[in-house]
Amino acid sequence: MPYGCVFLGYLLQWLSEFLAKTNPEHNTQEELKMSIQPIKKLSMHFLWVMSIILLPACQQCQSNQQSSKNTDILRVAWDSMPKSLDPRFGNDAHSFYLSDLIHCSLIEFNEAGDTTAGLASKWTWTTPTMLSVNLKQNITFASGKKVTAHDVKATYDFFKRTDLKKISPLAGAYKKIKEIKVIDDHKIEFHLSEPEISFVTNLIVGILKKEQANVESLKPETLDHCGAFKLKKIGVNDIHLSKNTKFNLHTPPAISEINIKIVKDESTRLAKLKKGELDIVQNTISLDQMKTIEKNKSLSVTKGPGLNTVYFGFNFKDKLMSNSKARKAIAHAIHKNQLIKHILNDYAEPAHSLILKKSSFYAEHQRHDYDLSVAKKLVQELKKDNVDLKFKIKTSTNKTQVIIAKAIAKQLTEVGFTVKVESLEWGKFMDDIKKGLAQTWIGRWVGYKDPDIFRYVFLSEMAPPNGGNRGFYQNPQLDQLLKDASKTIDLESRVAKYSEIQKIVQKELPYVFLWHTANYAVHRKNVVGFTLYADGRYSSLKQANKN
Amino acid sequence: MLFYTLRRLLYLIPVTICVTVLVASLMHFIPGDPVDKILDEFASAEQRAELRSQLGLDKPLPVKIISYFKGVLSLDFGNSISNGRPVLELVSERALATVELAILAVLISILISIPLGCISALKADTPTDYLATLFSLIGVSMPNFWLGPLLIIFFSLYLGIFPVSGRDGFMSYILPAVTLGASLAAILSRMTRTAMVEQLQSEYVKTAYSKGLSKWRVVFIHVLRNASVPIVTIIGLQFGVLLTGAIITEKIFDWPGLGDLMIQAIGERDFPIIQGLVFIFSMTYLIINLATDLLYAWIDPRIKLQ
């Protein structure tokens, strides 16, 4: 860089001489010399000043290169800060991801998204409303204190408190807990007011020490962790974690430190990765960049299945969308494979149900694959019935979602619908859907672990603001099946019930299930051991390392 | 001057109150419920109502505004809805970053624009002047969201001199400050040129030359000072704008400033933060305007502030 300054200094001098010579005011050599002199001095001063300024830049470069080679720290980018560092309050994805790294919970999830043992070694539904949980022994917090059933009880009892200044956002998930009984230091019972088989998947709150769990407002720096890492430093835009040397729930982490940097702009995330200022970015780079990234010599891309479903939703309060012929015509007109190939660069697989094909609860009874002739025929029938075929697709302002919405609109226009796309700021978008002001929209369900998601999404009582039935779909037969399935403990019976549920859903089409997006991570080639978890968590940072 | 200053300081109060009341009223009509942002859809209607009550969202608008101003009198701007932290704490941890960036951006723009404007004025209607005009046009035409990534690609990725983003060391200030300062430099250089050309035609300039003063002394000590009133106006106005947060630049460079906080608060419908920031921004802007007006009187003693 100092060489660049020298070059720039001489360039300035040449430029000043050129401009002086072309100035008609300068008649004599003496006048020319006089006019150039100050500029020559100025450019030499500039040269020295820039060299002095840029010398630290060279040192900074070296320091950046050194830090990128620092094999003891993994630097990960997230696109937003966790809402809360207290596991009892964070209900956004990043709060869960962080809690997974610094706390231990009763239940964990493996790479496929299946429930696995965490702090709980075993759990059994003794009755439909009583869950008995055995804890692993000799698990400790970072302070050395052992984790016992009393700590677990205190953590979950917090959600039942009515004297809090601000209720926990997670309280809704535990509203059915009637009582928590400690049997001994390593056995606990959860008594529910009514059966809820999916309750087990909610036992993911980070366990706090009994003394801390009773305190309403905790400073993150004071939390005693039983997870693989502990909080070292919290900045405005970054979180530093260090290895918890007392961690004994699983294999201790391989890396000493993790720096989580909040990088909100996608281009900046990619630039930092390329430069070596970041090691891992997961799911927050647009898919249209992936083909270029795959050719980059210093970066690797890891791809895996995701626990999410992108869908095209229908508002049953709308006259057109409550017409089953219209919904079927739309389903047959959407060319999912084309959209997956050209917009998502094959980072998705077509969906035919709310849950993934690999799930033991998956059932396929009826498909509405792309078929232009069927779609056109249905549209003709609608036209004969004088049905107005104009409607809007609402979407968020996410770039990819807008492109997908426009592509779908084009496909639907080809069969005879008149479609407009309206992209809205996220808050307005969700508000419109919940108020029933969206005829159709493109949405996504993420991170669900249990087929009870069907109840949440399609039960009549779950219409907003009570739940996720955003299309205001009503079907008494389906309602009964959903309620029965959520209370059924026997696996075989559950599978049969969810098969029936999917039969109705696939026939009635309250949604067109579009695809399940893949999870993907872009990381530096020297990062090893990082694998993807289907629900997007960063659990594999516990095993990841750098060469 | 003192009376003028006190009077202007008093005007701050009703103006700030009006702005805050207006923004609070408008926020009342923004679609999107902050309770939905905090509680997930599993929450019951009772839990929603309870949280709404705890956050004071169920109170009528006039009651909310009055209790807000009561809190402001004791420097209590309320707590963030989404994370519960005091608004003043959130603002104070980010304010320094914004101030530093604004000052550096203005310094860079002054260092570029004043000499450029002066040279352009002295060499009016010559290739030098045309080159400076071209620079100004380019500077004004380049939007921040284009210039910022371009600087990152060239200086961070290709040359590897500066870090890509973040506020970590002196070198991390340069690219965001240049991004912010570039368009300001372009505007200032044109303003400087115009003002200087006008002043250079004055009689006192001829007098100064005839007295034997050097060209540089005449231009930079006498002419520039007389030409600086409009320049100071632009600098003052732009500094006020920069202090209230350069949202796009802060997002591109991950700058932990007030603009970033505002955008986050709007997305989360975090009304206490939005209100607090609007209050602080309006006060800041008015104070900067006052300081600019006072500076006129210092620069040109002929100006009487009444």
Find the CATH number of the domain harbouring B200: 1.10.3720.10
Same domain, B51 and B103: no
b or e along B149-176 (b: 16 or more beta carbons within 10 Å of the residue's beta carbon)? Answer: bebbeebbeeebbbbbbbbbeebbbbbb
DSSP B187-219: HHHHHHHHHHHHHHTSHHHHHHHHTT--HHHII
Decide if B86 is inside a domain: no
Residue B233 pLDDT: 87
Q: Summarize pLDDT for A467-487 with one digit per residue, the tens.
A: 899 999 999 999 999 999 999
What is the span of the domain harbouring residue B54?
Answer: 2-73
Residue A38 pLDDT: 59
Same domain, B135 and B239: yes
Question: Which residues of chain B are within 8 Å of residue A271 when distances are taken between CB atoms?
Answer: 149, 152-153, 156-157, 164-165
Cβ-defined contact of B269 to A217 (cutoff 8 Å)? no
Cβ-defined contact of A431 to B162 (cutoff 8 Å)? no
Same domain, B119 and B21: no
Same domain, B100 and B59: no
3-state DSSP of B52-120: HHHCCCCCCHHHHHHHHHHHHHCCCCCECCCCCCEHHHHHHHHHHHHHHHHHHHHHHHHHHHHHHHHHH
Distances (CA, A) of A478 to A313, A473, B173, B213: 18, 10, 59, 95
Contacts 24+ apart (CB under 8 A), A427-432: A427/B30, A427/B31, A427/B32, A427/B37, A427/B267, A427/B269, A428/B31, A428/B32, A429/A394, A429/A395, A429/A396, A430/B32, A430/B36, A431/B31, A431/B32, A431/B33, A432/A394, A432/B31
Cβ-defined contact of A64 to B128 (cutoff 8 Å)? no
Q: Summarize pLDDT for B14-42 with one digit per residue, the tens.
A: 888 888 888 888 888 888 788 877 776 66
Q: Is the pLDDT of residue B216 over 70?
A: yes
Q: Summarize pLDDT for B280-305 with one digit per residue, the tens.
A: 898 888 888 888 888 877 777 776 66
Residue B27 neighbours by CB under 8 Å, 6+ apart: B271, B274, B275
Give pLDDT < 70 ranges for chain A: 1-69
The two three-digit tokens of residue A443, written as one number: 């949405």
Residue A268 pLDDT: 93
CA gap B292, B295 in Å, rounded: 5
Residue A1 pLDDT: 47
Same domain, B245 and B119: yes
CA gap A338, B68 in Å, rounded: 54
CA gap A457, A322 in Å, rounded: 17
Cβ-defined contact of A468 to B45 (cutoff 8 Å)? no
Give residue for tokens 């006498």.
B222
Residue A416 neighbours by CB under 8 Å, 6+ apart: A376, A379, A380, A383, A389
Q: How far apart are the first and last CA of chain B?
A: 7
Question: pLDDT over 70 for what percent of chain B?
Answer: 97
CB of A84 within 8 Å of a chain B CB? The answer is yes
Same domain, B11 and B121: no
Question: Which residues of chain B are within 8 Å of residue A61 when distances are taken between CB atoms?
Answer: 160-161
Q: Summarize pLDDT for A440-469 with one digit per residue, the tens.
A: 999 999 878 899 999 999 999 999 888 899
Decide if B208 is inside a domain: yes
pTM: 0.85
Cβ-defined contact of B170 to A56 (cutoff 8 Å)? yes
Residue B61 pLDDT: 85
Same domain, B157 and B225: yes
Same domain, B153 and B251: yes
| Domain C-terminal end among B73, B104, B127 | B73
Decide if B78 is inside a domain: no
Phi and psi, residue A366, nearest 5°:
-150, 135
Residue A123 pLDDT: 96
Q: Using DSSP, state whether B167 is helix, strand or coil.
A: coil
Phi and psi, residue A465, nearest 5°:
-90, 10
Decide if B234 is inside a domain: yes
Decide if B90 is inside a domain: no
Decide if B225 is inside a domain: yes
Decide if B99 is inside a domain: yes
Domain count, chain B: 2
Residue A66 pLDDT: 47
Distances (CA, A) of B192 to B112, B223, B289, B297: 11, 11, 20, 19
Same domain, B237 and B108: yes
| CA-based nearest distance B172→chain A, Å | 10
| CA-based nearest distance A432→chain B, Å | 8
Cβ-defined contact of B47 to A22 (cutoff 8 Å)? no
Residue A12 pLDDT: 59
Residue A244 pLDDT: 95
Question: Which residues of chain A are within 8 Å of residue B166 when distances are taken between CB atoms?
Answer: 237-238, 261, 277
Cβ-defined contact of A427 to B163 (cutoff 8 Å)? no
Residue A501 neighbours by CB under 8 Å, 6+ apart: A451, A454, A458, A478, A481, A482, A485
Decide if B83 is inside a domain: no
Same domain, B56 and B126: no
Question: Which residues of chain B are within 8 Å of residue A274 when distances are taken between CB atoms?
Answer: 157
CA gap A271, B252 in Å, rounded: 11
ipTM of this predicted structure: 0.85
The two three-digit tokens of residue B89, written as one number: 């704490």
Q: Please state the rounded mean pLDDT for residues B234-248.
A: 84
Same domain, B158 and B266: yes
Same domain, B173 and B65: no
Nearest residue of A to residue B216 by CA position?
A: A38
